Amino acid sequence: MRQSAVHLSGALMKKVQFQSRTVPFLLLLPQLAIVTIFFLWPAAEAVQSSFYLEDPFGFGATFVGMDNFTDTLTSSDYGRVARFTGVFTFFVTFLSLGIALLLAVKADKVLRGASSYKTLLMWVYAVAPPVAGLIGVLLFDQHVGPITEFFALLGWDMQIGVSFFDTSFAMTVTAVWKQVPVNFIFFLSGLQGISKSVQEAASIDCRSGFRRFWTVTFPLLAPTGFFLLIINITYAFFDTFGIIDVVLKGEPGNNPVTLVYKVYLDGFRGNDLGGSSAQSVILMLLVFILTVIQFRLIERRVHYT
Amino acid sequence: MATITLDTVRKVYAGNVEAVKGVSIDIADGEFIVLVGPSGCGKSTLLRMVAGLEDITTGEVKIGDRLVNNVDPADRDIAMVFQNYALYPHMSVYNNLAYGLKNRGMAKDEIDRRVKEAAGILEIGNFLDRRPRQLSGGQRQRVAMGRAIVREPAAFLFDEPLSNLDAKLRVQMRVEIKRLQRSLGTTSVYVTHDQLEAMTLADRLVVLNGGVIEQIGSPISVYDKPASTFVASFIGSPAMNLLPVTVRDGGLALTNGSGLSGKNANGADSYTVGVRPEHFEVVETASADAAVTADVTVNVLEPVGAESFLYASFGEGGPEIVVRVSSHAQYQPGQKLVLQAMPEDVHFFDADTGKRID
């Protein structure tokens, strides 16, 4: 920890010195304004309304203290959604990182037509999440979806929107498919950042390419991997909203939803603004704790070379 | 330990760029071979082909009696020291040294013995727990050497290992590499563009230019009898004076300029005459035995301590030459001098091909 802290502060030391005290603040102002308007203000609003029971038609609000929080945390529904969110996040993160790493390692070795190959792999990155969800829905369609038909051949009769497992499966596959290109780009640039002579030295020291990957390449990719881990967990948590919404076609029923989607459901479908705000406050705390834990624990094992 | 044999080795890159054009070298067991030449001469490519990091287009590379053209680098029983050291940044110094041995399935206590032994030889025993980034350039260089030594390979391959060090450390490590190679007796191939490094380290020098061998020989034989004007100008510092001459009235004269006279030793009409800076002698009047005499004007005197370099030219616009003189000699710019060189110190090269004429 101390080592990396010293190292990081060393990197930060190369800073510009300003003569005037106001100039740095002026330069920071646009960023601060955006953070305030789009994050701090809504967050403060959410914290405030999480302590109130709001009239669905906006006629008034009653202060209820911690009631919204206790109601949320004691409901069995919330526990079920939290468990699903955990499992969903794990699979989306693990699979999209794993598949992207595999593709990046293979693409790194391609010599002929490397650039067009890489461009094709990044293509999906340009697709917006709801559109990705829509494409996913088409692929998994009950009647014409090629993936559904393929699994039907193998004897799996998929029922998206009816079966909990089948719906989760379709969501996970679509979410992973959407995220792989982002991870791919980062892993590829991470791989290309590894010194060629270090890889050559390893090829003289170790015959097995598989072993070489796990002992030299993978540890050197750790900074990239750590960064992507945070990005992917955040993605699975928050940015999969569009995909889930399209897959469910606005009919959540007993289908799998994530915590973020539940915030939307309870707030805008159920008109329970107070409960919904309490849930977003819990999510904020969760993300805060997650970030602290990740930086504290994982960074210790990561080498910034 | 082993011999290394290169038989008409060629390397052609995509786009028909021929980096190495049919090179053959027989390297004896325990010999220290230095490949030297300007950048782009193919010396690193040649070394990397021996290491297995580069495919061999045609020709054969043998280590010992084994043809290794299609052998994996890890199975060639060689160790390589890279220009930027190529240490594993995420491993301690100990693990950097032990990594190659672990992958061979060597017993733990044998690995430990070898690492400790190498660390002792190279005086890096105190840094075994550190990471490469916590070491200075010289220490990293030692770790890179250590990684090569612990393998106890058939051959060491060095790819400009000293070029990232400062001048003082470079001289120190140069001496150490030589001493180490002598005591281990391991066949070594060393690539450098620094002619001084090449001269001091090599048992035999291989001078490369444009993908072909210009000359192979001991440093002194290469220095004394350069095979071409390229070798003559590349080996030795300051470089050999090369002067284009034409035969006039049975004697030698400068092709463009005046002030030089000499005996025509061969049959051709024009040559390039080469004289090393230390072989010009400042005299009152030229001796009758001198092969070349020159009337020159002093331009500048450059003292470097143990000696001085005198730059002088043949009249206005004539070629400039360098003469090595005593550090106590006093010459003024504009001063006229008579120089002479004895027959055994004058080299003749073909005016067109640049090849040596004996």
Angle at alpha carbon of residue B154, lines to B151 and B156, rounded to 5°: 75
Q: Say if A221 is an interface residue toward chain B (CB within 8 Å).
A: no
**Through-space distance between the first and last CA atoms of chain A, rounded to whole angstroms:** 14
Alpha carbons A149 and A140: distance in angstroms, whole number: 8
**A245-283 per-position pLDDT tens digit:** 888 876 767 778 888 888 888 888 887 888 888 888 988
Q: Which of A8, A205, A300 to substitute to test the interface with B, most B CBs within 10 Å?
A: A205
> What pLDDT is attached to residue A301?
58
**Tell me, what's the pLDDT at B1?**
67
pLDDT in tens, A144-195: 788 888 888 888 887 777 788 888 888 898 889 888 888 988 998 888 888 8
* β partners of residue B253: B246
Interface of B with A in 274-313 (CB under 8 A): none
Domains of chain B, each with CATH number or no CATH: 4-234 (3.40.50.300), 242-357 (2.40.50.140)
Relative orientation angle of helices B93-102 and A196-205, to the nearest 10 degrees: 50
Contact A201 B86 (CB under 8 A): yes
Q: What pLDDT does residue B60 have?
A: 94
Q: What is the pLDDT of residue A125?
A: 75
CB-CB under 8 Å, B87 with A205? no
CB contact under 8 A, A197 and B89: no
A4 Cβ contact partners less than 8 Å away, ≥ 6 residues apart: A299, A300, A302, A303, A304
pLDDT at B221: 95
Pairing of the two strands B241-248 and B187-192: unpaired
Rounded CA-CA distance B279/B346 in Å is 8
- How does residue A302 score in pLDDT terms, banded at 50, 70 and 90? low
Locus of tokens 């890159």: B13
Confidence at residue B160, expressed as pLDDT on a 0 to 100 scale? 92
Residue B44's nearest CA partner among B232, B208, B222 is B208
Contact (CB<8Å) A198/B86: yes
Residue listed under structure tokens 């000293």: B162
**Interface predicted TM-score (ipTM) of this complex, two decimals:** 0.86
The single residue listed with the structure tokens 């430990």 is: B112
Residue A213 has pLDDT above 60, yes or no: yes
The pTM (predicted TM-score) of the whole model is: 0.80
Terminal-to-terminal C-alpha distance of chain B:
38
Interface test with B, best of A197, A198, A204 (most B CBs within 10 A): A204
For chain A, percent of residues with pLDDT exceeding 90? 17
Q: What is the pLDDT of residue A299?
A: 62
The reply to whether residue B80 touches residue A201, judged by beta carbons under 8 angstroms, is yes
Whether A205 and chain B come into contact, CB under 8 Å, resolves to yes
The bridge status of strand B260-263 relative to strand B336-341 is unpaired
CA distances from B18 to A263, B10, B36, B99, B212 (A): 66, 8, 18, 36, 10
Residues of B in contact with A305 (CB under 8 A): 89-90, 133
Distance from C-alpha of B86 to C-alpha of B83, rounded to nearest angstrom: 8
pLDDT at residue A60, as a whole number: 74
Q: What is the mean pLDDT of chain B?
A: 91
- B163 touching A, CB under 8 A? no
- The shortest C-alpha distance from B92 to chain A (Å) reads 12
Average pLDDT over residues A290-301: 71
Distance CA B346, CA B232 (A): 12
Q: HSE on the CB side for B29, CA within 13 Å?
A: 5
Nearest chain B Cα distance for residue A304, angstroms: 9
Q: What angle do CA B5, B11, B16 make, to 5 degrees?
A: 165
| Confidence at residue B311, expressed as pLDDT on a 0 to 100 scale | 94
User: Do B205 and B34 touch, CB atoms closer than 8 A?
Assistant: yes
Taking CB atoms and an 8 Å limit, are B131 and A303 in contact across chains? Answer: yes
Whether pLDDT at A46 is above 60? yes
Give the full edge-to-edge strand order of the sheet including B17-27. Answer: B17-27, B4-13, B58-63, B66-67
Is some CB atom of chain B closer than 8 A to the CB atom of A303?
Answer: yes
Distance (Å) from the alpha carbon of B49 to chain A's nearest alpha carbon = 12
> Among all chains, which residue has been given the structure tokens 């390229």?
B230
Looking up tokens 């094709």 gives A120
Kindly state whether B88 is in contact with chain A, defined as any CB-CB distance less than 8 angstroms: yes
Residue scoring higher pLDDT (A66 or B325): B325
Q: What is the pLDDT, as a whole number, of residue A7?
A: 45
pLDDT at position A9, please?
44
Residue A11: per-residue pLDDT: 46
The answer to whether the CB of B311 falls within 8 A of the CB of B283 is no
Q: Does A216 touch chain B (CB under 8 A)?
A: yes
- Is B72 near chain A, with CB under 8 Å? yes
d(CA B257, CA B315): 7
- The residue among A60 and B305 whose pLDDT is bigger is B305
- Tell me which residue of B56, B103, B208 sits closest to A205, measured CA to CA: B103
- Cβ A204–B73 below 8 Å, yes or no? yes
Nearest by Cα to A174 from A243, A114, A117, A222? A243
Q: What percent of chain A has pLDDT over 70?
A: 89
Per residue in A75-115, pLDDT (tens digit) is: 888 888 889 999 999 999 999 999 999 988 888 877 677 77
Nearest CA in chain A to B54: A200
Q: Length of chain B in residues, anyone?
A: 358
**Amino acid A303: pLDDT:** 56
Taking contacts as CB-CB distances below 8 angstroms, the residues of chain B near A202 are 88, 99
Average pLDDT over residues B163-167: 88
pLDDT band for position A297 (50/70/90)? Answer: low
Q: Do B100 and A208 touch (CB under 8 A)?
A: no
Mean pLDDT (whole number) for B159-173? 90
Tens of pLDDT, residue by residue over B271-301, are 899 999 999 999 988 888 888 899 999 999 9
Given a contact cutoff of 8 angstroms between Cβ atoms, the answer to whether B277 and B309 are in contact is yes
Radius of gyration of chain B (CA): 24
Distance CA B260, CA B281 (A): 14
DSSP string of A102-115, one letter each residue: HHHHHHHH--TTHH
Q: Are B103 and A198 within 8 A, CB to CB?
A: no
Q: What is the mean pLDDT of residues A192-204?
A: 91
Q: Which residue, among B242, B240, B238, has the nearest Cα to B255 in the 3D structure?
A: B242
CB pairs under 8 A between A and B: 66
Phi and psi at residue B162, in whole multiples of 5°?
A: -105, 0
Nearest CA in chain B to A301: B90
> Hey, are the CB atoms on B103 and A200 less than 8 Å from each other?
no
Kindly report, residue by residue over B71-115, the tens digit of the pLDDT.
999 999 999 999 999 999 999 999 999 999 999 999 999 999 999
Output the pLDDT for position A14: 52
Report the sign of the C-alpha dihedral through residues B256, B257, B258, B262, in that order. Answer: negative
Alpha-carbon distance B246 to B256, whole Å? Answer: 9
Q: What architecture is domain A61-301?
A: Orthogonal Bundle (1.10)
The overall average pLDDT reported for chain A is 82
CA-based torsion, A160, A166, A168, A173: positive or negative: negative
**Among B72, B76, B90, whose Cβ lies nearest the Cβ of A220?**
B90
- pLDDT of A5 reads 41
Q: Which amino acid is at B63?
A: I
Contacts of A204 in chain B (CB under 8 A): 51-53, 73-74, 76, 78-80, 100
Query: What is the rounded distance in angstroms from the CA atom of residue B314 to the CA atom of residue A109?
Result: 59
Using CB atoms, pick whichever of A200, A207, A305 lies closest to residue B72.
A207
